[in-house]
Structure 1
Amino acid sequence: MYLLRVMAFPLSLLYAAAVYLRNFLYDIKLFRSKSFVTPTICIGNLSVGGSGKTPMAEYLVEMLKDSHELAVLSRGYRRKSKGFVLADAQSTVAELGDESYQLHKKFSEVTVAVDADRRRGIATLEKRVRPDIILLDDAFQHRRVKAGLSILLTPFGKLYVDDWYLPTGNLRDAKKEARRADLIIVTKCPHEIDGRERESITNKLNPQLHQKVLFSGLAYDEKVRSNNRSCDLAILKGMSMALVTGIANPQPLVEHLKESGLEFVHLKYADHHYFSKNDLKKFKKFEVVLTTEKDFSRLEGKLDNVLYLPVRHRFLNNDAAILQQRVVHFLKHCSRF
């Protein structure tokens, strides 16, 4: 894989040129970004996958759902449907995509919709639902919409400043576009990160005066779950177990399970992988299949022995309060509130 990425370097230069030209046309306003009356909060990244966007979306939903009429709009990556789809009680993972389906299932009181055309999606939500706030999931690079508040995520192990363009690296947008963010959150930090390292990373990211750099890690639940049961993670010790992952970066989960003293066979698939009959046949050979919550949405109802381990963002120091202050300040100064 590494050799293929090195060989693809000329293609990455062409990709970088296309990204530069597109952003330049937006910067000189030949291409127009559209703002909307409804306050919009954007979560995104500059790289493909693995930065923790879904747990961050869930964090913000938890923060806002009790005080506002909230809607979440996503592209619905790898869904089997087309156009605008509004989630309801009959919605499936194939219609919404795994990440949107997970949000809909977990927060049934919150409006969840998918549309690859974010402008159309927002306009449709404003017409049909009229939410107080629209949370745009994975939309930082979609410059056709100008979000009111932009949150940029970058993983601790691979900061965007250390990355390169696709297909040699993982960047899908230019590093300098980070200047459009209001908050930069370094995700998947180790628990023991100290003040000196935080300062070093902040200096490396070189934020602008209006930007704050925050730090968060992943906090795994002590219990594993399925639709109708839950049990302590420790109960799985000594069982014949497969860890099944179809996410961009499963390494933090792998390390957590090993630190918890579990032994398992790791069956790793591409991000958003739809599991085949042969995959399911392989899984049934194990006493238990442990997976992520996102992958569980594509496995539920197909296996009797599958469990998932919930995960959430855990902000370091006082950073959770800073995030909340920024969001509250943004909403306070919106004309609708």
Structure 2
Amino acid sequence: MKPKRKIKIYYGLLPLACLYRLVVSIRNWMFDRGILHSQSFPIPVICVGNISVGGTGKTPHTEYLIRLLRKDYQVAVLSRGYKRKSEGFVLATPETTAEAIGDEPYQMAHKFPDIYVAVDRNRCHGISQLTDGHTAPGVRVIVLDDAFQHRYVKPGLTILLIDYNRPIHLDRMLPAGRLREPESGKKRADIIIVSKCPAQLSEAEQEALRNAIAPLPCQQLYFTTLAYGRLQPLFSAEPEKRLEEIRKDEHILLVTGIASPAAIIDKLSDYTQFITPSTFPDHHDFDATDMKLIMEAFKKLPEGKRFIVTTEKDAARLITHPLLDEALKPYIYVLPVEVAFLNEEEHLFNQNIIEYVRKNSRNSSFFKS
């Protein structure tokens, strides 16, 4: 079992964190007392979110729900569309760019062309658009991506993700730590998932985490890990490449603009020790300087033994980037990631999700023919 990573806390910023905690707590209190109102909708709405800033694996878990439900229901995913260059409600089409809806919605729209993907900062407005009978005909279940703090919507089912590498009970409020709200906010979740766990997480540590998280009797707790697929060429017609096919003497330039690339580095390190990270902030918008740095870093690697690995989210921004050097394109591979449940509990999780959707569908005709 790999050790937990050290959690960095900026203790000098704790006074500001206390002030931020007060503001967020007052807001939550106003929703809890009904001073601020949450809106319910006559359609199954599943919220996937977190309490902490940074990557907890929301997109892979959202995609898990898509795969689970899309065979029987017309699914719509509604996201904020972080860092998109558009305003208001946007429904993705085959021609929609990542700039218009954001990298993660773009990724999902292209991986699952049979679902609806939309973005709207105002989630209530976005849901209303998706359920107006014209914008997204036939939609039967909506998955809200990263909406745990958007309390103006009252989801029918809420899934809270907690990063194994940065558990919320050891963290602090922004800006001293990465918590968006106090740990007590976890009580709003129906399902809690500890994500990014080691695949061989021991029963003893699972029990320790369960005790630290202390779920309510009505809450379900699961543990998931990241499962990486075959390397897929982004531009070339080369076949997919199994990770086991990476030679020990091959050099990888890892280009990422995600919150935490450590898990990918650890995984690739199982196959080669020659990994050069070229890391950028989460949702980074690559500019000319960045492209030059990537090209220079790649040129330093030995010819005939080098290639580039990037994430699905970063590929969404790179695939149409006008400044990406043509000479790099044949060497770029995308590493897809999915989630896998520990303890063989995916069947229990799946059953709970499907049961919720069935019970809250207005009639049996919601099933796709």
CA distance in 1, matches of 2:77, 2:143: 5
Higher mean displacement: 323-332 or 13-22: 323-332
| Residue pair 2:190, 2:220 contacting (<8 A) in 1 also | yes
| Residue pair 1:283, 1:289 contacting (<8 A) in 2 also | no
- Tell me the residue number matched to 1:140: 148
Residue of structure 1 aligned with 2:62, choices 52, 57, 61? 57
Asked if residue 198 in structure 1 is aligned to residue 198 in structure 2, the reply is: no
- Tell me the residue number matched to 1:169: 177
- Tell me the residue number matched to 1:232: 242
Q: How many residues align?
A: 336
Q: How does 1:274-285 map to 2 (within 5 A)?
A: 274-285=285-296
- Tell me the residue number matched to 1:129: 136
CA distance in 2, matches of 1:295, 1:118: 25
Identical-pair percentage:
40
Q: How does 1:1-337 map to 2 (within 5 A)?
A: 5-127=10-132, 128-130=135-137, 131-227=139-235, 228-229=237-238, 230-233=240-243, 234-235=245-246, 237-285=248-296, 286=298, 287-301=306-320, 302=324, 303-304=328-329, 305-337=331-363
CA distance in 2, matches of 1:290, 1:147: 37
Deviation per residue, 1:119-161 (Å, 9 max, x gap): 0000011112141000000011110000000000001111112
Cα distance, 1:242 vs structure 2: 1.3
Cα distance, 1:240 vs structure 2: 4.2
Higher mean displacement: 189-198 or 73-82: 189-198
Higher mean displacement: 166-175 or 256-265: 256-265
**Letter matched to residue 258 of structure 2:** I
| Residue pair 2:246, 2:271 contacting (<8 A) in 1 also | no
**Letter matched to residue 15 of structure 1:** Y
**Letter matched to residue 308 of structure 1:** V
| Residue pair 1:151, 1:181 contacting (<8 A) in 2 also | yes
**Letter matched to residue 166 of structure 2:** K
TM-score, length-scaled by structure 2: 0.87
Cα distance, 1:279 vs structure 2: 1.4
CA distance in 1, matches of 2:172, 2:357: 35
Give the superposed CA RMSD. 1.7
| Residue pair 2:49, 2:159 contacting (<8 A) in 1 also | yes
| Residue pair 2:140, 2:361 contacting (<8 A) in 1 also | no
**Letter matched to residue 234 of structure 2:** S
CA distance in 1, matches of 2:95, 2:272: 39
| Residue pair 1:236, 1:262 contacting (<8 A) in 2 also | no
